[in-house]
């Protein structure tokens, strides 16, 4: 940040307004959750390719190319993407706001002031239940939509909901 002189002999550096990185990661099991869904999808694609290979013996080069390409893209989406998402995803709840950072190619940082919180929900899909995880959704009075804190250990999600409920009750904002 460039410095500027406001009076002779005194230099001032303009303040930067950069959002602090939220403190907490999702559960380590989030990587498994984010890998299983794509793995199932890619397994379906590979089965379809195997059926194509069994039914059509005339295009072996194209079939081999398709299988290799599928395996490479599948490995990226099942191994690399979950690791990358885990490295990026963060969340934090303070007395003032809910902070999240999500994404992997396109990253989004959100701040939801506690005074704008309308509802706090917990969601557990089949894979989340299997892995002992939950997602906390904080609905706010925002056109950007709800803030989601994904792939938390179930006890952490329950503690987060209790904390958000308690903090929001102390801040009797209009949530509009």
> What's the pLDDT score for residue 7?
43
**Arithmetic mean of pLDDT over the chain:** 87
From residue 34, give the alpha-carbon distance in Å to each of 11, 21, 83, 98, 145: 49, 22, 9, 23, 22
pLDDT band at residue 18 using 50, 70 and 90 as cut-offs: low
Buried b (16+ CB within 10 A) or exposed e, 95-126: eebbbbbbebeeeeebbbebbbbeebebeeee
Contact 77, 40 (CB under 8 A): no
> What's the pLDDT score for residue 170?
85
> What's the pLDDT score for residue 12?
45
Q: Provide the 8-state DSSP code for 19.
A: P
Does residue 155 register a pLDDT over 50?
Answer: yes
Does residue 9 register a pLDDT over 70?
Answer: no
At 104, list the tokens: 């992997």
């Amino acid at each position: 940040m460039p410095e500027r002189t406001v009076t002779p002999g005194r230099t001032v550096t303009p303040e930067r307004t950069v959002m602090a990185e939220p403190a907490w990661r999702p559960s380590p099991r989030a990587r498994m959750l984010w890998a299983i869904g794509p793995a199932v999808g890619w397994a379906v694609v590979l089965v379809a390719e195997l059926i194509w290979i069994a039914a059509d013996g005339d295009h072996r080069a194209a079939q081999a190319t398709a299988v290799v390409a599928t395996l490479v893209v599948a490995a990226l989406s099942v191994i690399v993407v979950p690791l990358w998402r885990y490295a990026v995803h963060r969340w934090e709840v303070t007395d003032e706001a809910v902070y999240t950072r999500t994404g992997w190619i396109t990253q989004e940082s959100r701040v939801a002031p506690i005074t704008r919180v309308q509802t706090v929900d917990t969601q557990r899909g089949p894979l989340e239940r299997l892995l002992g995880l939950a997602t906390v959704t904080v609905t706010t009075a925002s056109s950007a939509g709800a803030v989601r804190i994904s792939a938390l250990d179930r006890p952490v999600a329950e503690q987060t909901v209790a904390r958000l409920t308690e903090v929001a009750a102390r801040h009797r904002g209009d949530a509009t």
